[in-house]
Amino acid sequence: MLIRTPKDWALRESAATPEKIYRLSHRRDFLKSLGVAGAAFAARDLLAATGGFPTKLNPAYRDAALKPTPYDFITSYNNFYEFGTDKADPKPNAAHWKPEPWTVEISGLCDAPQKIDVNDLVAKMGGVEQRIYRHRCVEAWSMVIPWDGFPLAKLVALAGPKSEAKFVKFTTVLDPKNIPGQREGTLDWPYVEGLRLDEAMNELAFIATGIYGQPIPNQNGAPLRLVTPWKYGFKGAKSIAKIEFVAKQPRNTWNIMAPDEYGFYANVNPRVDHPRWSQASERVIGGGSGVFGSRQRTLLFNGYEKQVAALYQSLNLEKNY
Ligand SMILES: Nc1nc2c(c(=O)[nH]1)N[C@H]1C(S)=C(S)[C@@H](COP(=O)(O)O)O[C@H]1N2
Ligand SMILES: [Mo]
């Protein structure tokens, strides 16, 4: 992220073809291996085995003005340093990674700490819904993504945070044997992120397990990742292994790597520039005629001011970037 210059923002020709056929997901392979077709399978197990799919669009999170970015761009133009630092790296480099079975640890200052299989978690959350959210990277590009998943607030309720818990810390996968980038010192592994507890309970905060009604591809953070659409993309920790309730504000990876450039809050703010570039506007990936096509003005809180402004009323947003 901070190391790269705009030169690597070129997409491969094949990646620019919109709406190609969806990649067969590992979950589908898993389903097939179970021989579900003929077997008598409880609805709950079926739901769990498929990661909660199919999904239903939640109309409260669809904006007619938002045009979803083609699937191929969303899944081939990625930041996931575990699988390489170029935008085109994660898709091929993560293709053979097997993020299953997957256990999520819920721990720290909460009443119901637990280790839970991701499919059981999705079932406990009542399955998944689809929300169409804006997605803005601190590198000044953006997309519109139809995410499938469940509200983070539901997971917080399942955990039952104690009154001393003020923040949620997310720790992502650490598996250097199978993750090439983690055998190099590009970042301080594992990638960690955090939210204030009230941010985590905001209606917008979401745990994604899918995109466009398909299980989330490895390169986008399988099997579950954080989505906070009013914040820069780096808040969206991919491939989460542990969710911890803590009393003190945790450090987050990009803040550890470059504290003068990346803060804890990471709220999208066109009035607070990155020290090395403007945040006033953004390139729309897949927009317009070319790969990058159009450019548009960036909105405060990425257009979600109504939902989140109250969280930051007493905060100086220039200091707390
Ligand atoms: N584990 C992990 N999560 C991560 C990253 C990463 O390198 N590793 N990159 C972040 C950054 S900088 C961005 S912009 C988003 C990109 O998400 P996308 O590839 O699904 O668009 O993931 C975030 N989550
Ligand atoms: Mo990013």
Question: Tens digits of per-residue pLDDT, 124-167?
Answer: 999 999 999 999 999 999 999 999 999 999 999 999 999 999 99
Give the alpha-carbon dihedral of 241, 118, 146, 228, to 10 degrees. Answer: -40
Q: How far is the C-alpha of 220 from the C-alpha of 228, rounded, in Å?
A: 14
96 burial via Cβ count (<10 Å: 0-12, 13-18, 19+): exposed
Cα(4) to centroid(ligand 2), Å: 11
Protein residue with its CA nearest to atom 11 in ligand 1: 234
Any atom of ligand 1 within 6 Å of the Cβ of 302: no
Centre of ligand 1 from the C-alpha of residue 110, in Å:
27
Ligand 1 near 252 CB (within 6 A) = no
d(CA 144, CA 133): 6
Distance 17 CA to ligand 1 centre (A): 22
Answer whether 1 contacts ligand 1 (Cβ < 6 A): yes
Dist. CA 238 → ligand 1 center (Å): 6
- pTM (2 d.p.): 0.87
Distance CA 125, CA 149 (A): 9
Indicate the top mutation candidate among 71, 193, 234, 283 to test ligand 1's pocket, ranked by most ligand atoms within 8 A of CB.
234
Give the amino acid at 84. Answer: G
Give me the pLDDT at residue 53, please.
Answer: 77
**Residue 200 vs residue 33, higher pLDDT:** 200
Residue with tokens 């703010």: 269
Mean of pLDDT over the chain: 87
* Lowest mean pLDDT across 1-15, 61-75, 273-287: 1-15
In the numeric block, which tokens belong to residue 14?
A: 């094949």
Closest to 118 (Cα-Cα) out of 173, 181, 168? 173
User: Strands 240-246, 167-172: parallel, antiparallel or unpaired by DSSP?
Assistant: antiparallel
Residues 6+ apart with CB under 8 A from 203: 151, 153, 307
Q: 200, 245 in Cβ contact below 8 A?
A: no
Per DSSP, which regions of 223-303 are E strands? Answer: 225-227, 240-246, 281-284, 295-297
pLDDT digits (tens, 9 = 90+) for 2-41: 544 333 333 333 332 222 222 223 344 434 443 444 344 4
Q: Where are the domains of the chain?
A: 13-265
CA 152 distance to own-chain centroid: 12
Centre of ligand 1 to C-alpha 245, Å, is 22
Any idea which residue has 């390489």 for tokens? 84
Reply yes or no on whether the pLDDT at 204 is more than 50. Answer: yes
Q: Is 78 in the pocket of ligand 1 (CB under 6 A)?
A: yes
Q: CB of 235 closer than 6 A to ligand 1?
A: no
* Model pLDDT for residues 297-311, shown as the tens digit of each residue: 999 999 999 999 999
Superfamily of domain 13-265: Oxidoreductase, molybdopterin-binding domain (3.90.420.10)
Contact 86, 250 (CB under 8 A): no
